[in-house]
Amino acid sequence: MIELCDVNKTYQVGESPLRALRDVSLSVQKGEYLSVMGPSGSGKSTLLNMLGLLDRPDSGSYLLNGEKTETLPEEQRAKLRGEHIGFIFQSFHLINRLTTLENIELPMMLAGVALKARRKVAMAVLSQVGLADWAQHRPNQLSGGQLQRVAIARAIVMKPRILLADEPTGNLDQASGQEVIEVLENLNREGITLMIVTHDHNLGRRAKRQIRMVDGMIETDSSTEHAPARSDTL
């Protein structure tokens, strides 16, 4: 379970403070599918970074699977990120000199997984996103939709329980975006908790739970399925 309670975050922009999050409280259960919408500067990406343990609150608390995270040393926060959270961004952040397969293997290589074992897992995940035939291609040989699917494969190769996606279709045409969303929604149906930040209202409305942010605050949080079928924790 994700539990934010009265979280605040302020950045200094020049000489002026910018309050990115204002007393944000949010509870997310295992397997939920959420979208976060709102105008630019409303705090959407800051919220995602907070949930992904990429940033710390100035005040308030963040519990991940019952563990208080905001005061943990960075090494322990990095360990939690690696164990629980996968990230997908609008820019794919793939390494051009590596093949598709090698890009997907990278998190496992950094975790010390042996070559034979990580290659087997990477090929399985590549098949899961429909790109098994593209294992030896490099990023400059792939379309935008294929690049994002490779990024998704890399994000899930360590079997995270939470997937955080920041504008995952923002650089894609409509057909490619549809393919990517279907991959993400299939992962959610398999039990991964999925949160998508988006400006696209059509995409946002696909989520079972929609959150709208304004001026660093959650303005609305509406859902037809707030209570998931399973109650086990993340």
234: pLDDT confidence band, cut at 50, 70 and 90?
Answer: low
**pLDDT, tens digit, 9 for 90 and up, residues 205-225:** 999 999 999 999 999 998 644
At residue 82 the predicted structure's pLDDT band, cuts being 50, 70 and 90, is confident
Tens digit of each residue's pLDDT (9 = 90 or more) over 111-161? 899 999 999 999 999 999 999 999 999 999 999 999 999 999 999 999 999
pLDDT of residue 30: 94
In the numeric block, the tokens 């690049």 are attached to 147
Q: What is the mean pLDDT of the chain?
A: 90
Would you tell me how many other CB atoms lie within 10 Å of the CB of residue 12?
8
The structural domains of the chain, ordered by start, are: 2-223 (3.40.50.300)
Angle (CA) 224 201 165, round 5°: 85
User: Which residues have a Cβ under 8 Å from the Cβ of 12 and sit 6 or more positions away?
Assistant: 18
- DSSP assignment letter at 141: G
Q: What is the pLDDT of residue 170?
A: 86
Phi then psi dihedrals of residue 229, to 5 deg: -65, -30
Q: In this model, does residue 231 exceed pLDDT 60?
A: no
Given a cut of 80, whether residue 165 has pLDDT beyond it is yes
In this prediction, residue 90 carries a pLDDT of: 82
pTM of the model: 0.88
**CA distance between the termini of the chain:** 5
Q: What is the pLDDT of residue 223?
A: 61
Per-residue model confidence (pLDDT) at position 225: 43
- DSSP 8-state assignment for residue 134: G
Residue 45: burial class (beta carbons within 10 Å; 0-12, 13-18, 19+):
buried
| Max CA pair span of the chain | 53
Q: Where are the alpha helices (DSSP H) in the chain?
A: 44-51, 74-84, 100-110, 115-128, 144-156, 174-189, 201-204
